[in-house]
Amino acid sequence: KDPYPVETLPTCTYALSVCHNEKACSVLFERFKNSCKAREGECRMEDRY
User: Is the whole-model pTM more than 0.85?
Assistant: no
**Is there a domain that residue 17 lies in?**
yes
**Is there a domain that residue 47 lies in?**
no
Query: For residue range 4-48, what is the model confidence (pLDDT) as tens digits?
Result: 555 555 677 777 777 778 888 888 888 877 777 776 777 766 666
Do the bridges between strand 42-43 and strand 38-39 make them parallel or antiparallel, or are there none, so unpaired? antiparallel
**Is there a domain that residue 24 lies in?**
yes
**Phi, psi (rounded to 5 degrees) for 11:** -75, 165
**Is there a domain that residue 25 lies in?**
yes
**Is there a domain that residue 23 lies in?**
yes
| Residue 30 structural domain | 10-34
**Is there a domain that residue 40 lies in?**
no
**Is there a domain that residue 18 lies in?**
yes
Count of domains forming the chain: 1
User: What pLDDT, on the 0 to 100 scale, is given for residue 49?
Assistant: 58
